[in-house]
Amino acid sequence: MKVCIIGDGLTSLTLAKALVNQGIIVDLFCKQKTNKLNENRTLSISKSNFDFFNENISNIKKLSWKINRIEIFSENLNNERLINFENKNKHLFYIIKNNQIYNLLKSKLIKKKNFKFKKIYNYQELLKKNYNLIINCEMNNFFTKKFFYKKIDKDYKSFAYATIIEHKKIKKNDTAVQIFTQMGPLAFLPLSEKKTSIVYSIRGKKEINLESLIKNYNKNYSITKIQRPSIFSLKSTNLRVYHYKNILAFGDLLHKIHPLAGQGFNMTIRDIRELLEIIKNKINNGLQLDSSICSNFEKNTKHKNYLFLNGIDFIYEYFNLESKFDNDFMSKSVKFLGKNKFLNEKFIKYANEGLFF
């Protein structure tokens, strides 16, 4: 059984490693040598996805930093805490630098006999090769333009500023902080005792003094250095059709999401879990991999991804609307709901596991 993966990003490597571990032959095609990943970018992985990653893909425990608590604040309530998420004796999620997990996966894959990196010259030529599945993880190529152009796009007209601050040692730096400011959501995500990742999503393209803004909202750290930020525009995407015959769209091509809840890569890992389960069932029943895998994957995940993406979008627009009208009613409502133990536990489960029906 042979699978072709197109793209050389983190999603492509993660999926490739998951399939290679199942004994499947994987060819990963890319246009050119990969550019060096920005060292300021981090990602969060929920507890359930973290356990899956370690058991089925690669051990990333040494690269990760545990988060035990999440605190949410609103500037409209004078930075008063709205919600405190905490699961006793359990970690909520983990923070990992993008480039570290990428380099780990790449080094592991190179050593595998059933894996090859290949340079792509003609996408249409892949159709003539004997691949059971072609999985497209690229946002812009021949397959995307021909088969995966029907989608729902949303431009948030915002830009995310991602950086890492270095600070004096905090022995128990395990609390993630989300502040809904007048300009947009700001997240402090601990990376170690001396480093914390920051993602600030600011509405509109503005000339900002990021260092000044960070220091203004920072209440916990004695900052010694702020690294140069990376900046990227914020859009959401929801693909309407997931596959064409045995060609499957995957990763950001399926869904892009606002980073305020740190769920982008988590959605992709959940997709990999579902795809892997479908493939395992085929193999265990002595069947070949074919286009039915793509249709089953779409059937099992499309509605969940759509609802999850719109749930995150609702949270963003909820606080965005409040800041436009300069009213604290919504923040007060969230604070009231946050005191409900049942709802608090449900939200933790939602963030950890996604939607399961």
**pLDDT tens, residue by residue, 289-347:** 999 999 999 999 999 999 888 888 887 887 776 565 555 555 555 554 555 555 555 55
The total domain count for the chain is: 1
pLDDT confidence band for 259 (50 / 70 / 90): confident
DSSP 242-293: -EETTEEE-GGGTEE--GGGS-HHHHHHHHHHHHHHHHHHHHHTTPPP-HHH
What average pLDDT does this structure show over 186-212?
89
Residue 6 sits in a domain whose CATH number is 3.50.50.60
Q: State residue 121's pLDDT score.
A: 86
End-to-end CA distance of the chain: give it in Å, rounded. 31
What distance in Å separates the CA atoms of residue 136 and residue 124, rounded to the nearest whole number?
A: 13
Residue 160's domain comprises 2-353
For 250, the 3-state DSSP assignment is coil
Q: Write down the pTM of the prediction.
A: 0.89
What average pLDDT does this structure show over 241-269?
92
What average pLDDT does this structure show over 1-6?
95
Asked if pLDDT for residue 217 goes beyond 70, the answer is yes
pLDDT confidence band for 29 (50 / 70 / 90): very high
**pLDDT tens, residue by residue, 102-124:** 999 999 999 999 999 999 889 99
**pLDDT tens, residue by residue, 135-157:** 999 999 999 999 999 999 999 99
What average pLDDT does this structure show over 47-70?
94
Half-sphere exposure of 281 (CA within 13 A, CB side): 11
Assigned token pair, 56: 């089925």
Contact (Cβ atoms closer than 8 angstroms) between residue 36 and residue 140: no
